[in-house]
Amino acid sequence: MSIIDQLEAGGGKRGRGGIVARAAARIGCDPLYLQAILNVESGGDAFDKKGRLIILPEKHVFWRELPAALRAKARALGLATPKWARSNYAGLGGKGSDRRWTRLRRMVELHETAALMSASYGKPQIMGFNHKLAGYSSVTEFVLALAENSDAHDVAFIAFLEAVGLADELRAKDSPAIARRYNGSGQVARYAGMIDAEYRKLLARSEKRAVRKGDLPTVTTVVGVPGRSAMLRLGSEGYKVKALQERLVALGYHVVVDGDFGPATRRAVVAFQADHGLAVDGIVGPETEALLDKAVPINDQPGNSRDGLTVADLRNRGSQTIKQADRLTIGGVVALLFGSVGEAGSIKDAGWLSFATDALGKVKDFAAPALDLVGAHPGLAVAIAAAGVVYVAWRIKGRRLSDAREWRHVG
């Protein structure tokens, strides 16, 4: 039975529960807060009325996951598109719709692994390409586990939160940070507000149950750690974050200056803290903020100047980027020589014409005029494509050297 047949057969069962409580005890966070996050992010349904996983195939993700050679076909079939758009979901129907399964089946028929990677599954709607963060070695293992039992959904979701480094945020009830990491940069305030509201609702229910039993409530009504909300951290936005990013760049920690404190900015802050002997938490508290003001750019610190650094130095230090660019250069030079002296017949037989077509597609801005030469002058097309590859490799090495000299690879 194929993987899609197994999934469509349904049979998903309700688990025994208790996953959230055990995970909260292990992490050291409030179980009601963890449950609130799961409630907000999951929508509550693991399976549809037929016992099948709740799924949502994503056309733009399928485009990304597919081998390049299959993208045009997938697009023609209406299964893939380069960018996200609301129109991608036209005709799919709601949760439990057969049309969602029809689309996923057609995607699987084209490329099974890419298709499974390109849908979201179950209560938390975890994307297939996040299977490793959810604790599974393969996407097939991931979807089959979720299709069997609803407890697996909770386990996968909590594993994901821990894998992306949100344990401290769970303990601190830092909803903006959690929303930024799980929901992306565009909906932080909305999802953080939903998590806090759900948490307060669960607290109220818990307190009512405690009163009915004659017990005093033991849970706290505080959401977040006092003072933490004033610190720049994952989920923060605005001009202060932009100023922080500009300072990090000036100090040699490469981030995009966009005013959004996302995972990349957090990594840069962590790297700065580690380099300067601070507690590593990715939060710009008073000590980190003070040291950011006093710190000297890495390249200006005694013994850290890299002005004389060369590509050969990076190669000797094991730079994988330089080594990959070297391989491109060698392949380009060989193809250049072959294309210059080879005959049309031998070029086609050796597969160099295919090389030329693929290479020209990758460097089309550099070698667009050669695209028309592939059929009529294969030798010349191979030579121009090879020259383009050599040029791209040279640019890669130059960019990597510039980054290394300015310490922009740090963090």
Q: Assign residue 125 a region (left: φ > 0; alpha: ψ between -120 and 50; beta: otherwise).
A: left
pLDDT over 60 at 2, yes or no: yes
Alpha carbons 240 and 260: distance in angstroms, whole number:
10
Alpha carbons 123 and 53: distance in angstroms, whole number:
9
Among 63-77, 110-124, 359-373, which stretch is predicted with the lowest mean pLDDT? 359-373
At residue 357, what are phi and psi to the nearest 5 degrees? -60, -45
pLDDT greater at residue 368 or residue 55 = 55
- The whole model's pTM is what? 0.63
pLDDT tens digit sequence for 273-291: 888 888 888 889 889 998 9
pLDDT tens digit sequence for 5-38: 999 999 999 888 899 999 999 999 999 999 999 8
pLDDT of residue 315: 84
Q: What is the DSSP letter of 87?
A: G
* % of the chain beyond a pLDDT of 70: 79
Alpha carbons 117 and 321: distance in angstroms, whole number:
27
Q: Given pLDDT bands bounded at 50, 70 and 90, which one contains residue 313?
A: confident
pLDDT of residue 348: 45
Alpha carbons 367 and 127: distance in angstroms, whole number:
37
Residue type, 137: S
pLDDT over 60 at 78, yes or no: yes
Tell which residue, 286, 189, 271, has the closest CA to residue 230: 286
pLDDT greater at residue 33 or residue 319 = 33
Is residue 179 helix, strand or coil? helix
CATH 1.10.101.10 intervals, the chain: 232-295
Q: What is the DSSP letter of 260?
A: B
Q: Are 314 and 401 in contact (CB under 8 A)?
A: yes
pLDDT of residue 93: 92
Alpha carbons 374 and 362: distance in angstroms, whole number:
15
Alpha carbons 21 and 297: distance in angstroms, whole number:
46
pLDDT of residue 352: 42
pLDDT of residue 29: 94
Fold of 232-295: Muramoyl-pentapeptide Carboxypeptidase; domain 1 (1.10.101)
pLDDT tens digit sequence for 323-373: 888 888 887 777 666 555 444 444 444 444 454 445 445 444 444 554 454
Alpha carbons 195 and 362: distance in angstroms, whole number:
44
pLDDT over 50 at 145, yes or no: yes
pLDDT greater at residue 210 or residue 217 = 210
Q: Are 193 and 224 in contact (CB under 8 A)?
A: no
Tell which residue, 232, 238, 126, 220, has the closest CA to residue 173: 220
Alpha carbons 13 and 288: distance in angstroms, whole number:
49
Q: Dmax of the chain from CA atoms?
A: 93
